[in-house]
Amino acid sequence: MTVKQPDQIEAWKAAELIARRELKAQDLLQACLDKINERESDVQAFAHLDVDGARARARALDNSPVSGLLHGLPLGVKDLFDTADMPSTYGSSIYAGHRPAADAGTVAMCRAAGAVILGKTVSTEFAYFSPGPTRNPHTRGDQPAHTPGGSSSGSAAAVAAGMVPLALGTQTAGSIIRPAAYCGIVGYKPSLGHVTLAGIKLLSRTLDVAGGFGRCVRDAALLGAVLTGDHDLRQLDQRSTPRIGLFRSPSWPQADTDTQAAWEQAQAVLTQQAACRDVSDPAGFGDLVALQKEVMAFEMAQALSHERLVHWSGLSHQIQQLFEIGVAVTGAQHAANLALVRHWRMRAEALFEGLDVLLTPSTTGEAPAGLSATGDPLFCRSWTLLGLPAVHLPFAKGRHGLPVGLQLIGRHGSDHQLLAIADWVHQRLKV
């Protein structure tokens, strides 16, 4: 079977076809390469491509028994993850040509599951705000360039452009959910601590989470099953009526008319088919955005001490400013901040009283025009601080025709339930 439109085939379906030998891994890979040849010069999603290695891998997989859930599926790997056979530059010129000795744990797990690692996707500098060259794949021709979001810029853009069916990303503030929203695909951020961070450039021990991107919830669940080791994540049957809390959040005044329209659309649909109720802001919840910023600044300044102390002149102005903020926070202040984080993580359970999930904005609106910034992670910061699992669902268009959607949030550790409800909700919103 030859795949003519790789952007039209979902990863879970391709995996089934390959497992039944109705589709060759080599043919799926070639379809992805054709799409890369067509669009990469414009989108610039990849920091490094290994076409020869991918071809050899796909050929070997076609001639061997099925090795795992991702057998034969091309995968993009964010340039924050170490790879033994490709450079890992972490989005910084400081690490140009850097070759790690080993794969990140997640990369090794994906290889063992049969993935074809096609290349390293562009990350912003150390997954912060200084953008790379990647463009939002939904802007073409003479349209102004729009950001794909960050920091997992290339991963989201590559999936959205049909270059790969799946890609890995990380989130410290909003780096999975925001680019998924801007590029119009599904992004899945697992519960904090459910995916190993070994071999990923550490930014914040309190906040960092690894996850990924797909074209539908089933795709994200398939990748999540490999990353977490919980194969039950693929079982998405939702047999009871979901109980959904509608949580605009204290940042709602910053949501523009596109996000507000998507909210109204979702509310109209879901209140007819699910058990929905509004959830009010707990006292003090609005302070979590500032708390997340300070925790991130302190911990990134620590984690990147070598880069900060030895390679200062090689850093962007944006990350220099972050480090200056971070080093101004004392150890005692950070300890107090971590106590607040623990307090709020315990309080978070109360948000879900009588509910299964929360529906909340992913972004302020469409992807902003221009490539000098990657957009505001405002609507993601609190959930990342709380360590809760999140799934972005694309289903609407904004005033410029760019994607808009919303995210679902689950209790910590409720990833299976969250993904099942996300699939149920997405089926109803995207019609």
Q: What are the DSSP calls for 175-231, one per residue? A: TTHHHHHHHTSEEEEPPTTSS--TTB--S-TTT-EEEEEESSHHHHHHHHHHHHS-G
Q: What's residue 62's pLDDT?
A: 98
Q: How many CA atoms lie within 13 A of 226 on its CB side?
A: 29
Q: What's residue 6's pLDDT?
A: 64
Phi, psi of 61 (to 5 degrees): -65, -35
Residue 245 lies in a domain: no
- In the numeric block, which tokens belong to residue 413? 């550790």
Q: What's residue 143's pLDDT?
A: 79
Nearest to 208 by CA among 220, 223, 193, 221: 193
CA distance 285 to 382: 8
181 and 362 Cβ atoms separated by less than 8 Å: yes
Which amino acid, one-letter code, is at 198?
A: A
Q: What's residue 249's pLDDT?
A: 96
Angle 263-416-390 from CA coordinates, rounded to 5°: 40
CA distance 168 to 113: 14
261 and 349 Cβ atoms separated by less than 8 Å: no
Residue 92, preceding peptide bond in cis (omega within 30° of 0): no
Gap between the terminal Cα atoms of the chain: 28
357 and 240 Cβ atoms separated by less than 8 Å: no
The overall pTM is greater than 0.85? yes
Counting as low any pLDDT under 50, the low residues of the chain are none
Residue 175 lies in a domain: yes
Distances (CA, A) of 323 to 305, 307, 374: 9, 10, 19
Say how many domains are in the chain.
1
Residue 164 lies in a domain: yes
Residue 318 lies in a domain: no
Q: What's residue 25's pLDDT?
A: 97
Residue 421 lies in a domain: no
Q: What is the domain-level CATH number for residue 121?
A: 3.90.1300.10
Residue 165 lies in a domain: yes
Residue 94 lies in a domain: yes
Q: What's residue 8's pLDDT?
A: 77
- The domain in which residue 202 lies consists of 6-234
pLDDT in tens, 304-339: 999 999 999 999 999 999 999 999 999 999 999 999
Residues designated catalytic: 78, 151, 175
Residue 396 lies in a domain: no
